[in-house]
Amino acid sequence: MQSLTLGPIIYHWKPEERIDFYARIADEAPVETVYLGEVICSKRTPYFEKDYPDIIERLERGGKKVVLSSLTEVVLKRERDMLAAICETEDHEIEINNTAGLLDVAARPHRVGPLMNIYNEETMRYLANKGATHFSLPVELPATVVGEMAKAAKDFGVGIEVQVFGRASLAVSARCYHARAHQRTKDNCQFVCEEDPDGMPLKTVTGQSFLTINGIQTLSHSYINLIEEVVDMPSMGVTHFRLMPQQVDMVEVAKIFADRLSARIDGAEAKARLDELSMSAPFSNGFWHGKQGQRQFGPKVA
């Protein structure tokens, strides 16, 4: 069985924007699973935590499975407490994005997120024996490695998820470059990241678009787009296909990927429909082909 998933919102969107976004996802998007939670900055959580119950109820009423995602960087005591609280949740599955969560979750079934950097079968085997039931792999893994890990995952009885759309997470730091770029400290950032709902563009000294900054996170400038490659993934053993929320029509993106996965449209039509959305960043698929990650290649690369 193959299914589309929607990753957590990684940017600092306004509460009303989040509520409207998830209402549309609940009613219109052909995704099976929605990951919900703050994974980048614990300071943002109070802005929308109170809305979680209503958002979850709306998503579940729309037939979506909700998985709670945890922080990727756990430094402060409040972050440790937040992680422990999520891991104590019994009503929903949990996605762990930091190894500190493995202690809190103990042997309970849980998912492992892409920010945990699981690069080989033996690590996956170890974590599966500790209760992990599902692995979302890091974006930089090429198809050859994903295929080997997906083959092993079948033996372990766990799911394998690959990000097929959205910016690639490249690094996280204990420091907030977003705040520093505006001459502010992390503790007194004044939530400047809210001014960049699709991330803050970073250019080279020659003015070339290079990376994107999101608080403590460094992202690719381009959007990963594996619309051509996604049809080959089920035969490799990939079971889930993750779309990362961006400032585009994510309902339409989900529909295009669903149509492509089900073979209702071919690659050319899928690409044309994505191009019609006039996205603000170029596409890339280099990581999947074992090439330069920021580049876009044809579906077959020697």
Give burial (CB, 10 Å; 0-12/13-18/19+) of 239.
buried
Q: Are strands 217-225 and 159-172 parallel, antiparallel or unpaired?
A: antiparallel
Q: What is the domain-level CATH number for residue 55?
A: 3.20.20.60
The CB-side HSE value for 74 (13 A sphere, CA atoms) comes to 23
149 within some domain: yes
Domain that residue 256 falls in:
3-168+221-284
Q: Which long-range contacts (CB under 8 A, 24 or more apart) does 188-197 make?
A: 189/43, 191/12, 191/43, 191/44, 193/11, 193/12, 193/41, 193/44, 194/12, 194/13, 194/14, 196/11, 197/11, 197/12, 197/13, 197/17, 197/247
The residue ranking higher by pLDDT, 2 or 147, is 147
Domain annotation covers residue 293 = no
Asked whether residue 54 is domain-assigned, the answer is yes
- The whole-angstrom distance between residue 127's C-alpha and the CA centroid of its chain comes to 20
Within-domain flag for 208: no
Domain membership of residue 212 (yes or no) is no
pLDDT at 244: 98
For residue 302, the model assigns a pLDDT of 42
Digit-coded pLDDT (tens) for 109-121: 999 999 999 999 9
3 state SS of 159: strand
Query: 24 lies in a domain?
Result: yes
Cα 274 from Cα 116, distance rounded (Å): 30
Residue 2: pLDDT over 70: no
Split into its structural domains, the chain has a count of: 1
Q: What pLDDT score was predicted for residue 36? A: 97
Residue 280 confidence class, pLDDT cut points 50, 70, 90:
confident
pLDDT at 300 over 80: no
Task: With respect to residue 273, please indicate whether it lies within any of the assigned structural domains.
Answer: yes
d(CA 142, CA 273): 26
Query: Beta 93-96 vs 65-69: how paired, if at all?
Result: parallel
Arithmetic mean of pLDDT, 144-172: 96
- Predicted pLDDT at 108: 86
CB 186 within 8 A of CB 179: yes
Q: What's the pLDDT tens digit per position in 236-253? A: 999 999 999 999 999 999
Instruction: Indicate whether 207 belongs to any domain.
Output: no
The tokens describing 274, both together, are: 């994505």
Which of the residue ranges 118-122, 208-212, 296-300 would you say has the lowest mean pLDDT? Answer: 296-300
Confidence of residue 301 (pLDDT cuts 50, 70, 90): very low
> Residue 217: what pLDDT?
96
pLDDT digits (tens, 9 = 90+) for 14-68: 999 999 999 999 999 999 999 999 999 999 998 888 999 999 999 999 999 999 9
